[in-house]
Every structure is written in C-alpha cells, then in structure tokens.
A and B are shown apart, each in its own frame.
Chain A
Amino acid sequence: MKAGLGTLAVAVGLNGSALGVAVLALGLRRGDERLLVAGRRFVWVVVGAAVAAAGAMEWALVSHDFSLQYVVDNHARATPLLYTIASLWGALEGSILLWALVLGGYLAFAARKFRDRAGDPLVAWATLTGLVVAAFFFGLMIGPANPFHLVGGPTPTDGAGPNPLLQNHPLMAFHPPMLYLGYVGFTVPFMFAIAALVTGRLGEGWLVATRRATLIAWGFLTTGIILGGWWSYEVLGWGGYWAWDPVENASFLPWLTATAYLHSVMVQERRGMLRVWNLSLLVATFALTILGTFLTRSGVINSVHSFTQSAIGPALLGFLGVVVAAGVGLIGWRGDRLRAPGQIDSPVSREGAFLANNVLFAGFAFVVLLGTVFPLVAEALNGRQLSVGEPYFDRMTVPIGIALLFLMAVAPALPWRVASAGVLRRRLAGPAWFAAVTMLGLALAGARGVAQILAFGLGAFAVGGIVRQVVTAVRSRMRADGSGPARALRDVTAGNRRLYGGLIVHVGVVIVAVALAASQGYGVKREFRLSKGESATLNGYRLTFVGRQVTETPQKRTVAARVEVARGGDVLGVYEPAVQIFPNATQAIGTPSVRTGLAEDLYLTLVSSPTDTEEVTIGAAVNPMVLWLWIGGGVMALGTAAAVWPTRRRRAVHPGDGASREGSPPDAWESRSRTLTEAAR
C-alpha cells in the first residue's frame, strides 16, 4: 500500500516533469504563450509527487512497514522516533527522495515568484531546466535508487535499524536536510543562468532575480557544513570536526564557488563586467553539487558518508557530463554577446579586490577538487594507490585562507573604481593599528604560531574595519537628521540590509577563523590508563576514574567510564565517555563526552572499555575555542538571513529586462550614492 503509493508518486513525478518539459519545449518552439503557462503548472505536479513519495516513505518508516526493503535496512522497531524520521536521509535511496522533495520546494518557490511572467520565454526556459533536473532525480528513483523496493520473500518482523553512527546524536536530524537545502537550492540560479544563455537575454535582470535564491541556498549550505562539523565532533570521537574527508570536501566545493559568485556578482551589478565568469561560477557550483553527490553516493571513495555501493554512479557521472557540456557549450556559443565593454581602472579598488577574492576562491576550490579526485585519477591511470590527506590540504589552504582574511579586512573599505592613498589611510589606519596592537599583545602574552597570530590579527583588522564603517554611517545619519544613536543605527541598517547582513556574515567568518586557528594550534591531547579511583592531570584538569556503568535499552547497550573532572579543587562534574553497541551492527561505536566551555572544551573518549578489573584507558583532549566555531556559524546564518529578509520598499525587478540600468536594484543605487558622498568627504 505504502510502497504502491510511493511508486505511483515517483512515476507521476517522472512523467509530470517529462510532460512539463515537452509542453514547455513545444510552447517555446511555437512561441505559444498559452502552452508556456500550461507547462509551468507541471511544477505543481512534481511538487505533489515529491511530497507524496516522501510522505509514503515516512509513513512506512513510522508504521514499521517491513515489506519495504528500505525500511528493513534502515529501521528497527526499537529506533526512537527522531531517528526513524531522520532515516529518510540515512541511506542512498531515501536521500535521493529528500533531494527530489527539496528540489520540488525550490521549483515551487521559483514558480510562485514568477507567476505573473509564466509566458516569458526566459522564465519558461528556467522552468524547463528545473524540470529536466527533477526528471533526472525521479528517474534515479525508478531505476538504480528505487526507495520503494519490496522485500523478496516473507516480510521480516524487524529491521536492521539505521547505521549506528546515524542514530546516536540528534544533529543527524538537522545536518543532512540543511545541507540538501543548500545543495539543491543552487539549482535555481543554474536554471536562470541556462535560461539567460539560451534566450540570449544576458542583461543583469535574471541575476538580480535569482540573487536571493543563491543567498538562501548559500546560507543553508553554510549551516549544513557547520552542523556537519559539529556532528563529527560530538559523535565520531577523534576530537576533530573536519578531516578533509572526500565527502566533506564535496560539500565544501560548491560553497567555495558560490561564495566567489556572491562577491563577483556585485562587480557585474555595478559595472556590468565579469558576465562569463559569473555564469561559469553558477554552472560550476551546480555541477559541483552533482559531483559531490556522485562522490558521496557511488562508493568510489571510502568515507564515512558512502553508505552503499550502487549502480547510481554512472547515472550521476553521465548527468554531470551533460551539465558541464551544456554549460560550457552555451557559454562558448554566447561568448560574443557576453563581452563586457567596461574596464577595471585600478587593482586597488573594490572591483580589484573582488577579482583577487575570486582568484583565491577559485584557487581554493581547485586545490580541494584536485586533492579530492587525484587519488582516484592516479589509481585509474597507473593502478597505484596514493593518499592526499590533511597535511596536504593544510599546507595548501592555510595560506589561501590567510590571504582571504586579509582581503576581507581590506576590501569593504575600498571605494569602487579607484582608491586614493588618502582614502585608504583614513579608512584603514584605525583598524590596522587595532590589528597590529592585538597581534603584538598576543605575541608578547605568549601566543605562538605565525598562522595563528596572522589569523587573530587579520580577524581584528576585519572587525575593526566593520566597526569603523558602521560607526561612520551611524554618525553621519545622526548629523543628517538629528536622530539618536539607536534610531540612526536602525535606519542605517534597515536601509541597506544586504550590505549590513554581509558584514554580519564577515563577523561570523572572523569568529570561525579565530576558532579554527586556536583549536588547531593550541590543542593538547593525551591518553591515560587508569584503574578505579586513580587520577591523572591534563592542563589543570584532574581526571579521576570513578567506575564503569552499563546501560541497556532496546536500541543499544552503552558501556561508559565515569570520570570525575575537577579543576583547582572544584569538582566540575562526572563525564561519561562511552562505547555503544547496537544489536545489528558489528562494530562498537565510541561516543565522546565533551565538557563544553567558552574558552575551551575538555574532550574525553574511551580508548579501551573498562575491564572487569575496572581498568580503563581514556583519551583526554583540551580543545580551545571549539564552541566558537558553532557560534560563528550561527552568526553567518544570522547575517545571511538579515541580508535575505525582504525589505519593505522594494521595487519589483523583472528578470531579463536587458540593459543593466533597467535592472539595477534600488539598493545598489542607494549604496552607490552613499559611496560617492563618503568618498567626497
């Protein structure tokens, strides 16, 4: 019944998207607006089908319907409800279903936003592209990744339960959906990029229209990546949050190109330049999401994330090929129309900084991509296995990250077109001194490491610059209309949410960078073998093994070592690093116990289970500032939300209005005149 409903929904989804593509294609060919309007309606068929299919799967999971193979493999009667619901994305087939659901949501979002313009060929081409992508994913569910496969033979009475790693922390319920909301969201700008290329309407209108979708997807992807790091830290028990695992890299790659795009798009809005580059970045971002899914799901790479080997690999690889070929082909074909007349006058200018930013982000993405796929390629070519791991990525990416921090500190202070020495001095001297004094103070106080001190100093530089910028704007507003500081701050920020939201994101990046530098540079880690009642000391923490504790629930058996933690004579509590044994898994899962603090975490793991004679080996680590990684991520998400939030007086801007002046958004005008007045001062 549920399998029937699910299979039907998937079939409707596939046929609906294929029909929609056909109707739109016919309408575009004949120039028949009625067909275009009709074709757009198929988006709702796709949405309905995706909701029905995902609903059928959730229903099957929650009602323990073990006639479905997916439920047998990923669910057990003893699985708690939260992890039961999260099992939808616990394995390959379900995650494709989640992809289709999220894609349906974004297609609906786009269809609703452009409901008045369904007859416009640009919107029709975008919808058509979106429906092609939807057809591909529904096709996967008909073919190699069918979530509604029935069990052969008699229906089992219970299932295996989710992968143990996926059912012992609630973050598992949030990290994958966030990541997918990010990943899949990049389909929207991709759709419009393709539409703009096909129709030849390459003005800035389409880009303004999809800017917000890109930003929303970027915010979700950022959140998803940070939550993934948090999950890894709380669950995997090796003490870190990022291992340059191929699949972590796969989520990071589209983030890098999307971040590059969010910056370079401003050059296009302002100056009409970098059109080819921006389109390439959008196509690359979308292609990298497909590549990431390929790496994650095909089993070509051994990683925590490749749950299954499956036949889905060739399909994804083929689709990736189509996307790249279509993108490159269209950009090449439209090359002549994409030539921009403008020029960048000086490298020391806002647009010059954006160019440098893009070179660095592209280089960053290139290094990560190369390091990720090189072992595969090398093995395919000469059969010898190679590793490219953390030491490589650290060596290559830390300098790039430092350079990006520097740009982040300097670029917002640079005026467009050309920066005079006077303006530079006026805007940067204060923040630069703040940074230098911070660095010297920390170094004299005993902080070590060139990369660390640079990260702290450049972070201070960036925050100093942001404070200066906000204070200057608020002051001039106060002078202009005599309002109080609070009101002026509100007016100023409300008047340009995108700018100030972006600056909040920058503050979040600084927090993350500082936390990365501190936790990577100043951590301490030891192992202790303790018998009952014995103590050990690490960095002022006194760890006493109190005894072992065994808990059994139907879901799992937990063997924990009770460790009393004290510092300076005060008992801080009893922490229980543990090993969990799930009935249907061969491997026991270690679970760390973390004492989280603003300054540092104490991270306890069980290296070997307590024996019957009550002896235990625990791993203890002091990780400075890790909490600030998650806080910084939260600030980045907050800033994105502030930038995305609709402003009240927003003029409607339509995509494809041709010339950039028509499409130029009101806030660009506003900040442009502000830049002028500020520069004149």
Chain B
Amino acid sequence: MRLGRWSLVAAGMLAVAALVVAAGSNGTDDSASARVEHLSEQLRCPTCQGLSVADSPASTARAIREDVARRVAAGETDAEIKAAYVDRYGEWILLRPRGSGVAVVVWAVPVAALVLAGAGLAAAFRRWRRQAPAQPTADDRALVERELDERGRVERARSERPEP
C-alpha cells in the first residue's frame, strides 16, 4: 500500500488521537463524591488487614467514609483531610506513603533503579556496537557444513518416508 513507510507512524498517531479522546472528558473529576471515593482509596481501614477504607465492608471503614464525606462537604481540602487522619492514626493510615521522610525511599529507589538499568543497557549496546563482529573460524564453517548436511539428510529421509 502507498502509505508505505509511514504506515506504522500513522497507526501510532491514530492511537494517540484515541487516547486524547478517552482522556479528554474525565481528566479532572472534582465532584464531591469522586473526591470522597479518591480519598477513601488512600486511607487504610484501621480494623482490617490491609484493605482500604473504600474497599472494606467493615463498620469502622464506613464510619471513616462518612466522616470524609462530611469533611469534604465542609470544604476541607484533600491535604487537610489526610493530615487530620495522619494526626489521629499516624503515617500508617496512608496507603500511599508520602514523598517525605523515610518513605521517599519507596518512590525514589525504583525510579533510580530504572534509570540505572536503562543507562546500563545503553552503555552495553554502545560497547557491543564498537566491538568488531566475530569472524567465523574454519572450525565454525566446518561445523555449519556438517550440520546442514545432516539436516538435508534428515529432511530427505522424512520426505521419502511414506505418509502414515
């Protein structure tokens, strides 16, 4: 087809267009109920085993959901609501650790590791590119010849064998 060399690029652009359409309408949903939902996903249910307040069916979790809804209605910001819970329960209540104090480690280390791995790979490729490609030795050639002969024999034997 004439689209030829640009075919993949065009498909990529179409995909990006689709993403823009999909992201467009609900980029920022700051309705009260969405904020309550979002906050309860980040608060840990104090009486459960690792579930969030949003997921947990426990009565404590329901009480916290209601309290968060009240605070949102009273006009508190997300940061204020989270701070109030941290004051009461400690950092432990936040399922997504804040990027401060020791907790910075969980955010920074993976990113650093990824950057390092990428850099390492790039360096490896540069080194490989500089290396001259290995030349086949006479031994290698003989080995390939033998193997091809063998394969030819096997294939012939297979094609001559009557079908079962």
* Chain A residues close to B by CB (< 8 Å): 237-240, 243-246, 302-304, 341-347, 355-356, 359, 362-363, 366-367, 370-371, 374, 378, 381-382, 384-392, 395-396, 421, 424-425, 428-429, 432-433, 435-437, 439-440, 442-444, 447-450, 452-454, 457, 590, 605, 607, 619, 661, 669, 673
Is the Cβ of B57 less than 8 Å from the Cβ of A605?
yes
* A245, A362, A371, A425: most-surrounded residue (chain B CB, <10 A): A425
B19:A453 contact, CB within 8 angstroms: yes
- Asked if A374 meets B128 with Cβ closer than 8 Å, knowing A386-B92, A435-B15, the reply is no
Are A359 and B94 interface neighbours, CB within 8 A? Answer: no
Task: Known contacts A343-B131, A367-B110; decide if A387 and B125 are in contact (CB<8 Å).
Answer: no
Quick check: A370 and B25 within 8 Å, CB to CB? no
**Alpha-carbon distance A379/B104, docked complex (angstroms):** 14
**Chain B residues positioned under 8 Å from A359 (CB to CB):** 114, 117-118, 121
Q: Taking CB as reference atom, which chain A residue is nearest B6?
A: A425
Bitwise, B88-125 to A at CB < 8 A (1) or not (0) is 00111111110000110110011001100110010011
Determine whether B18 belongs to the interface, using a CB cutoff of 8 Å to chain A.
yes
Inter-subunit contact B102/A378 (CB<8 Å) = yes
Q: Please provide the 9 A-B residue pairs with the shortest distance between their CB atoms, ordered closest to farther.
A: A389-B95, A439-B18, A391-B96, A436-B14, A343-B128, A432-B11, A443-B21, A385-B92, A440-B18
Give the interface size bracket for B toward A.
35 or more
Find residues 30-85 in chain B having any chain A CB closer than 8 Å to their own CB: 41-42, 44, 49-52, 55-57, 62
Contacts of B5 in A (CB 8 A): 421, 425
**Which residues in B have their C-beta under 8 angstroms from that of A356?**
121
Given A385-B91, A448-B25 in contact, is the A436-B11 Cβ separation under 8 Å?
A: yes
Number of A-B residue pairs having CB atoms within 8 Å of each other in the complex: 171
Identify B92's interface contact among A341, A387, A442, CB under 8 A: A387
Chain B interface, DSSP helix/strand/loop, else mixed:
helix
Interface residues of B in 1-32 (CB under 8 A from A): 4-5, 7-8, 11-12, 14-15, 17-19, 21-23, 25-26
Q: Is the interface of A mostly helix, strand, loop or mixed?
A: helix
Residues of A within 8 A of B131 (CB): 343
In contact, A302 and B18 (Cβ under 8 angstroms): no
User: Which residues on the B side are within 8 Å of A391 (C-beta)?
Assistant: 41-42, 52, 95-96
Q: How far is the CB of A449 from chain B (nearest CB, A)?
A: 6
**Contact indicator B94/A454 (Cβ below 8 Å):** no
Contacts of B4 in A (CB 8 A): 425
Residues of chain B with a CB closer than 8 A to A421's CB: 5
Closest beta carbon of chain A to B48's beta carbon, Å: 8
Contact between B57 and A607, CB atoms less than 8 A apart: yes
Q: Are A432 and B41 in contact (CB under 8 A)?
A: no
Closest to A302 in B: B49
Query: Which B residues lie within 8 Å of A381 (CB)?
Result: 102
- Establish whether residues A429 and B91, one from each chain, have CB atoms under 8 Å apart when the complex forms: no
- When distances are taken between beta carbons in the complex, the residues of chain A under 8 Å from B49 are 245, 302-304
A435 contacts which of B11, B55, B95, B117 (Cβ < 8 Å)?
A: B11
Tell whether, in the assembled complex, residue A425 and residue B91 are in contact, meaning their CB atoms are under 8 Å apart.
Answer: no
Q: Is the CB of A370 within 8 A of B95?
A: no
Interface core residue of A244, A344, A381 (most chain B CB under 10 Å): A344
A276 vs B51: C-alpha distance when bound (angstroms): 39
Judged by a CB distance under 8 angstroms, whether B134 is at the interface is yes
Can you name the residue of chain B whose Cβ is closest to the Cβ of A436? B14
Given the complex, which residues of B lie within 8 Å of A437, measured CB to CB?
A: 14
Asked whether B8 lies within 8 Å of A389 as measured between CB atoms, the reply is: no
Give CA–CA (A439, B15) in the complex, Å: 6
Asked if B106 and A374 sit within 8 Å, CB to CB, the answer is yes
B54 to A, closest residue via Cβ = A525
Q: Are B56 and A385 in contact (CB under 8 A)?
A: no
Q: Is there an interface contact between B22 and A341, defined as CB atoms closer than 8 Å?
A: no
B15 to chain A minimum Cβ distance, whole angstroms, is 4
**Residues of A close to B93: CB separation below 8 A:** 387
Asked if B153 CB lies within 8 Å of chain A CBs, one says: no
A443 near B110: Cβ-Cβ < 8 Å: no
Let me know if B7 and A425 touch, CB within 8 A.
yes
CA distance A453 to B23 in the complex (A): 9
- The distance from the CB of B85 to the nearest CB of chain A, in whole angstroms, is 12
Closest B residue, CB atoms, query A396: B110
Q: How far is the CB of B34 from chain A (nearest CB, A)?
A: 13
**Which B residues touch A436, using CB under 8 A?**
11-12, 14-15, 18
Tell me, in angstroms, the Cα distance from A454 to B14 when the chains sit together.
12
> CA A378 – CA B12 in complex, angstroms?
44
How far is B19's CA from A311's CA once the two chains are assembled, in angstroms? 53
Closest CB in chain A relative to B126 CB, distance in Å: 11
Name the residue on B nearest A664 (C-beta). Answer: B147
Q: Nearest chain-B residue to A368 (Cβ)? A: B110
* Contact of B95 with A454 in the complex, beta carbons under 8 Å: no
Contacts of A433 in B (CB 8 A): 7, 11, 14
